[in-house]
Amino acid sequence: MALFGTDGVRGLANRDLTAELAVDLSIAAAHILGELGAFKGHRPKAIVGQDSRASGEFLEAAVVAGLASAGVDVYRVGVLPTPAVAFLTAEVGADLGVMISASHNPMPDNGIKFFAKGGGKLDDALEAAIEKRMGEMWERPTGKDVGRVITDDSAAERYLFHLLNTLSINLAGLKIVVDCANGASSRVGPKAYTRAGAEVIAISHEPNGWNINENCGSTHLENLKAKVKEVGADLGIAHDGDADRCLAVDSEGNEIDGDFIMAILAADWQSRGLLKNETVVGTVMSNLGFMKAMDELSINVETTAVGDRYVLEKMLANDHSLGGEQSGHIIMRHYANTGDGILTALHLMQAVKSSGKSLKELSNVMKRFPQVLINVKDVKKEKLSESAKITEQIASKESELGGAGRILVRPSGTESLVRVMVEAQSTEIAQKLAEEIAALVRSELS
């Protein structure tokens, strides 16, 4: 079974994802990149960051040890968002970036994801090559050829400067609530919004190593909705554990997901001539309502498999400037080559402030089709493509929907389950079809 999923290597920390595995991954990554010429003519350099999980402490030590033992100088940036590590990798011209995080997963899990020179995620072929080389015999450097370990104390401030430098207006007059998920945005998120001029109330911003994503953040919006209404805020922002995604709520507590955020930004950018090729890039999970809204604005939509890495690949291949996922991973290539939740939130707030409209008014750019998602757990997800019965039922149900809905059944890239998603004109129809398909998936793949 492959180690790498859609977003790096993840698993139960110290059980699936061990210190030994972290060392081996780091050494193999250094060897592969070195052989590809990434280190040619200079001393190799890596940026290593982590989210706020307690297990990140020993995993960071393992990653640092592996890289340094392979002759790579390592710059430790501490607890920072994943996009900060991507930005810093590009900013200092590092040959490799490593982020230790399991994103929105619960605390017992952790993960390791790699960034190539320039801050982009490694492609599938490179990840496969790294995995193949793990545990090999190798000649270890000695003396001055071993890597050094340096703590980069200015990393957070440089990242904040980059974020704020992307804005064209001050956000004074906006009152916001931000839920930091007790994660990587807890320190820099509130600072960024405050320095941008907004009045900021932060919640779930006191990580203790164990409370990351615990009933908070982008996967648990209840506290944010309540706080926004309690304090009379203009809007609320929710991040996940590593702050590479952003969801929002309006002043009434209505959820504004990644599709709405992309639609708002696309309309704003189109009006200002910033939307390259009059195109946005979404995924197969993008809501049908988003597709119809873009069509009404004469904006093209190109779709990819789920995963912001695939969104970025298509954006780079076709020179598009805006793309993202319903989950809140939004990529703005004017400013970054990865999803950045804080950057996204800043530009969403800028669209609100510059338009003079509320977030609720701006969200009227699209109408969400009712969508039902059922996660079918404890099944053999790798057998999904082999089931003729499932394929036939999906085709039959899609025929019933016609153009007024759609069905997507796919294995999760990060968890042991199959996701069944149905969109229809009513929640009742979507729920009925999703339950029927989920039951068949459970029966066929158990």
Instruction: Indicate the SS3 state at residue 365.
Output: helix
Q: Which CATH code fits 4-153?
A: 3.40.120.10
Q: What pLDDT digit, counting tens, does each position of 11-38 carry?
A: 999 999 999 999 999 999 999 998 887 7
Q: What pLDDT digit, counting tens, does each position of 351-361 carry?
A: 999 999 999 99
- Could you tell me the strand order of the sheet in which 406-411 lies? 371-377, 417-423, 406-411
Tell me what pLDDT residue 7 has: 80
Tell me what pLDDT residue 1 has: 53
Contact 61, 110 (CB under 8 A): no
Pick from 446, 435, 368, 444: nearest CA to 397:
435
Superfamily of domain 159-365: Alpha-D-Glucose-1,6-Bisphosphate, subunit A, domain 3 (3.40.120.10)
Greater confidence, 139 or 2? 139
Q: What pLDDT digit, counting tens, does each position of 301-352 carry?
A: 999 998 888 899 999 999 999 999 999 999 999 999 899 999 999 999 999 9
The reply to whether domains 4-153 and 371-445 share a CATH topology is no
Tell me what pLDDT residue 124 has: 86
The helix or strand, by DSSP H or E, that contains position 278, with its residue range, turns out to be none
DSSP conformation letters of 312-344: HHHHHHHT-SEEE-TTS-EEETTT-SS--HHHH
Is 80 exceeded by the pLDDT of residue 2? no
Contact 242, 81 (CB under 8 A): yes
Is 90 exceeded by the pLDDT of residue 120? no
Candidate list 103, 185, 327, 363, residue with the active-site label: 103
Which pTM was predicted? 0.89
103 as an active site residue: the answer is yes
Provide the pLDDT confidence category of residue 66 given band limits of 50, 70 and 90: very high
Query: Where along the chain do its domains lie?
Result: 4-153, 159-365, 371-445
**Cα-only R_g, the chain:** 22
Tell me what pLDDT residue 88 has: 98
Q: Which CATH code fits 371-445?
A: 3.30.310.50
Among 53-62, 182-191, 301-310, the least confident range: 301-310
Give the contacts of 6 (CB within 8 A, at least 6 positions apart).
306, 307, 309, 413, 414
Give me the mean pLDDT over the 67-78 stretch: 98
Q: Mean pLDDT of all residues in the chain?
A: 95
Give me the mean pLDDT over the 365-370 stretch: 94
